[in-house]
Structure 1
């Protein structure tokens, strides 16, 4: 049975993909589960296979069985050195094959679904508060039409747009769980605050500005987090769906 909480947030990250034997998005999801998102916010993480059929079913099941108030999907942007907050999921145009060599026959996520679905969160509002030295965060409206975009659209569809997709970098100064986890923790907290207070300016109240300052300090080295994440990496690898 789930513990009582005011919020239940789902954070799916992806499994192995091409050169990433351990997907950076999954490392970050594990780190976020470790540090949490605040009091009375229960965090559920799930490793998604880079497989259209399986990931689509898992996302639908997450919404139908767990009923989260919000879902934050994590994916890796190959060669990127910045964090991208994706505003929009697209329904059609999926022609690249997954790790099993498959792509949807109809090249779409949901038959007869809307062509585009936008997150209920204004990603530009969130990103502008994180344009600080050492934190390259931008909003985007093109998630790339691969598994990240595909599962994001499915989540927006099943969750009435109460979802987000964050592409984490695979290169540059932010491309480590030790630096990404405190940054994403603050980003997600800002999204949750906006979801609860849609008319307020992001970081206006409830300690959100302090959370940003703590994030900036954490980026210089969160020793306890670094040790904990390294212990996860050195342990037995997680099972892959």
Structure 2
């Protein structure tokens, strides 16, 4: 394995004590979750998380009694990231990894995590499903694809924020 490549997990925290705005959350800007899907044959960008329909037990034999993520939350929350644009841009870059967009993250831990993250971040989250190693991509292929995807997401987020910022001054 190439020692120059590292896996980095970045997290931020919400308000606490006298900190009504937590600088760590502002600095993180975007939360990206990645999960494996045995059904996926492409790197799949999830458009939205869904609140209801959780019936399967997780590895700890847990399932919420309410069968939903957030009681009283909206049925579906879309990411602020335009996943179709991310998909088109990454596919056009000639990376050699197929990318697609999905509207159903599966009503299991991935979807539960995504919905909860979207709810808490006001849509500033993303979820990417990857196929199992070797079916058809190597770990290195998937790593390169994720890097390209995250760069495109940040680019789109920056453009959206610039547009909002400009509108406030006109």
Residue pairs, 1:38-187, within 5 angstroms: 44=10, 62-64=12-14, 66-67=24-25, 68-131=28-91, 132=94, 134-170=96-132, 171-174=134-137, 176-187=138-149
Give the TM-score taking structure 1 as reference length: 0.56
Using CA pairs under 8 Å that are at least 6 residues apart, name the structure with larger relative contact order, 1 or 2.
2
Aligned CA RMSD, in angstroms, stands at 2.1
Contact 2:40–2:129 under 8 Å retained in 1: no
Deviation at 1:182, TM superposition (A): 1.5
Give the TM-score taking structure 2 as reference length: 0.78
Stretches of structure 1 that go unaligned for 5 or more consecutive residues are: 1-29, 34-42, 46-61, 201-241
Contact 1:32–1:185 under 8 Å retained in 2: no
Stretches of structure 2 that go unaligned for 5 or more consecutive residues are: 16-23, 163-170
Contact 2:30–2:124 under 8 Å retained in 1: yes
Deviation at 1:63, TM superposition (A): 4.1
- Could you tell me how far apart the structure 1 residues matched to 2:62 and 2:81 are? 32
- Could you tell me how far apart the structure 2 residues matched to 1:84 and 1:95 are? 23
Distance 1:133 1:178, change over 3 A: closer
